[in-house]
Amino acid sequence: KHDIILTAEEHSVIGGLGSLVQEIASEEFPIKVTKIGTQDTFGESGTAQALLEKYGLTAKAIVEKVRELSK
C-alpha cells in the first residue's frame, strides 16, 4: 500500500535491518527501500548527539528524509 520504505539504524547500513527489509520486500513487492545509518565507514567517537546529527539519525533529519522521498 506504500511507495517507499525508510529504515533508520545506529550502525552500518550494510548487512543491517535495512538490508533485511530490502531483501524481503524485493521478493514480494516492487518498492523502494532507503536506508539511513552509517555508510561503509570506520567507526568514530563523539557525543551521541553529534554522531546522530552527522549520520542523519535525529528525528528532524528522519522526518526531512521522509518528506524528500514522498515527493
pTM of the model: 0.79
pLDDT for 7 beyond 90: yes
CA distance 46 to 48: 6
Average pLDDT over every residue of 19-29:
90
Which residue ranges make up each domain of the chain? 4-69
C-alpha distance from residue 6 to each of 18, 42, 44, 46, 67 (Å)? 8, 23, 24, 25, 11
Average pLDDT over every residue of 18-35:
90
**Considering the domain 4-69, what is its CATH architecture?**
3-Layer(aba) Sandwich (3.40)
Average pLDDT over every residue of 7-32:
90
Per-residue pLDDT tens digits for 27-70: 888 888 999 998 888 878 999 999 999 999 999 999 999 999 98
Quickly tell me which residue has 511507495 as its cell.
Answer: 3
